[in-house]
Amino acid sequence: MFRRGLAGVTTMTLLSYGGEYMAFTSVLTWLYNLTTARGVDPLQAYGFGFFVSAVYLLVSGVLAVPFGSLSDRFGRRPLAVVGCAAAGISILALPATALLT
């Protein structure tokens, strides 16, 4: 990647942020639809979405350094596998939200 120079690094960075943006936007859309379907006021649903966004950004910022250190120690691949497994488990758990009242 770095052999291609700045253009390769910029492309990979933009693709990474673009994927994160698409995933987070889909989660917020799902969250808004879930809360309004449950009878929550749309303004409160937007507020809840902003709260979730703020918590996500705060946790991402706080955990960036420790996970960077773990990546330096164990490598990127084991952390990526654990992250993919956690994402898969959370996606499989989404149908359980239908049981929430």
From first to last of the 101 residues of the chain, give the pLDDT tens digit.
Answer: 456 678 877 887 888 888 888 877 888 888 888 888 888 888 888 888 888 888 888 988 898 889 889 989 998 888 888 988 988 888 788 777 777 65
- How many domains is the chain built from? 1
CA distances from residue 62 to 1, 21, 57, 68, 95 in whole angstroms, order as listed: 27, 19, 9, 11, 29
Question: Two tokens at 40?
Answer: 């929550």
Q: In this predicted structure, what is the pLDDT of residue 4?
A: 65
**Taking a C-beta distance cutoff of 8 angstroms, is the pair 31, 48 a contact?**
yes
Please state, in angstroms and rounded to a whole number, the distance separating the CA atoms of residues 64 and 58: 10
CA distances from residue 39 to 34, 45, 49, 80 in whole angstroms, order as listed: 9, 10, 15, 38
Q: In this predicted structure, what is the pLDDT of residue 90?
A: 83
pTM, 2 dp: 0.57
In terms of residue numbers, what domain contains 38? 2-99
